[in-house]
Amino acid sequence: MSRHAKGPRRYLRTPKGRTPTYVILDGQNEVSTGFGLGQEQEVDKALADYIGKKHTPHWRDGDPDHVLVADVMGYYVEEHAPELAHPELVGYHSLTLLKAWGTKPCSAITGDSCRQYVRDRVSGKLGRVVVPATARRELKTLQAAHNFAVKNSKLRFPPPIHMPPDAPRRECCLDRSEVARLVAGAMGFTPGFYSIATRQPVLDLKHWVRLHKPLYHVARFILIAFYTGTRHDAILRLRWGVNSDGGWFDLHHGKLYRKGEGERETSKRRPPAPIHHDLLRHLPRWRRLTVNGPVEYAGKLILRQKRGFNVARDRACLGREVTPHVLRHTCATMMLRAGLTVWEVAGYLGTSPKLIESTYGHHAPDHMMRAATSNLGRNLGTRTLREMQNAR
């Protein structure tokens, strides 16, 4: 009687006189992974890739009881993810989603299992500890994959996917003095005096001293974000000339192009806009001091502005709620307080007027002052009563 096949699995080969190496055993076939002891995570990924390439989806009649979640996610990754603006995010989300539902049919996705998934993600049972908003984005990817399968007749209907509540909108907004402190922190300045009465640092910039090495690329990032309201990722890809990877500054015509030549437009629009006159005074000098773009370090564009920004924020004595995206909020809020209309702010930032009103409108109630001070007539109630008496 023949043995039952075990399926693809990893195995540690320990030849004499040679380094032990993990291989993938699949029946009579043996494939070397090239990884040894201490590299088990890489081996598991290689095994998953091998199984994924070998596995053939069985859609059958499209019944969620018969279609595996792994087949739906694989179909979505291969057919639709390359068309997205950030296909790598689909891959990251799929790794965790498959840990929870990879070997299960689509009908196993229920409201209870989705809530359990969120609890496991937040507690770290499925990887690193994350916030509920991250689990929500991963479930959004799961939902999009099933909707894509239904649209292409691979699945009859999508399973019900329960989403955790959306994260509350950020309420943090800076004033000009706090932005100035943030730039000063990036330039190496920090409070030099403390109040005897309160034991707190004196935040007046006149009493600050330079004690650290300047982070010029961080200071340039802060000023660009504050004056243009451009998103974090788009600022990091800005260059001095026309390119296909990101936006650029047109110093000759005084325009900022947030999107590269040939880049596809996404839901997060990046329209061109005139450069603010206060920022335009800095750009020619930055152009002479840099090679590729304004936010570069040692002649190379940086990929992520996090560590340097956090250093500048701590030197400026600001809270952890201050993130790079807060500068976009600050730009929109100050424009509204300066008297610009919702349509003007929305066009400059590349978003919808509805979002401006719902997100930033409560920060700037001054634009409604005309309605509060408009002349509605004196003694309106008395005059109306007199007219009613005369009508009798």
Strand order in the sheet with 248-250: 248-250, 255-257, 273-274
Q: How far apart are CA 9 and CA 6, in angstroms?
A: 8
pLDDT at 262: 63
Judge contact between 247 and 237, C-beta under 8 A: yes
Backbone angles phi, psi at 300, to 5 degrees: -130, 140
Strands 273-274 and 9-13: unpaired
Architecture category of domain 56-168 in CATH: Orthogonal Bundle (1.10)
DSSP letters spanning 2-53: PPPP--SEEEEE--TTS--EEEEEETTEEEE----TT-HHHHHHHHHHHHHH
Nearest residue to 301 (alpha-carbon basis) of 221, 200, 189, 181? 221
Domain 176-370 top-level CATH class: mainly alpha
Judge contact between 220 and 305, C-beta under 8 A: no
Give the helix/strand (H/E) hosting 249: strand 248-250
Beta bridge partners of 297: 300
Q: How far apart are CA 346 and CA 356, in angstroms?
A: 6
Domain boundaries of the chain, sorted by first residue: 1-54, 56-168, 176-370
Degrees (nearest 5) of the Cα angle 240, 246, 251?
Answer: 30
How confident is the prediction along the chain (392 residues), in pLDDT tens digits per residue? 445 455 567 788 888 878 888 888 877 788 888 888 878 777 777 776 776 666 677 787 889 998 989 889 889 988 898 888 778 888 889 888 988 997 789 999 999 999 999 999 999 998 889 989 899 999 999 999 999 999 999 999 999 999 988 766 666 788 899 999 999 999 999 988 878 887 888 888 888 889 899 999 999 999 999 999 998 988 999 999 888 788 899 999 999 998 876 666 666 667 888 999 999 999 999 999 999 999 999 888 888 888 999 999 999 999 888 999 899 989 988 888 888 888 888 888 888 888 887 776 665 555 555 555 555 555 544 555 455 556 55
Backbone angles phi, psi at 250, to 5 degrees: -100, 90
Nearest residue to 224 (alpha-carbon basis) of 302, 173, 298, 282? 282
State the angle between helix axes of 69-79 and 132-151 in degrees (0 to 180), rounded to the nearest 10: 80
CA 367 vs. chain centroid, Å, equals 30
- Scanning the chain, the segments in alpha helix (DSSP H) are 40-54, 69-79, 87-101, 111-123, 132-151, 176-186, 216-228, 232-236, 277-280, 283-289, 307-315, 326-337, 342-349, 353-360, 369-372, 380-391
Residues 6 or more apart whose CB falls under 8 angstroms from that of 89 comprise 141
Nearest residue to 88 (alpha-carbon basis) of 241, 233, 276? 233
Judge contact between 275 and 254, C-beta under 8 A: yes
Q: How far apart are CA 90 and CA 137, in angstroms?
A: 10
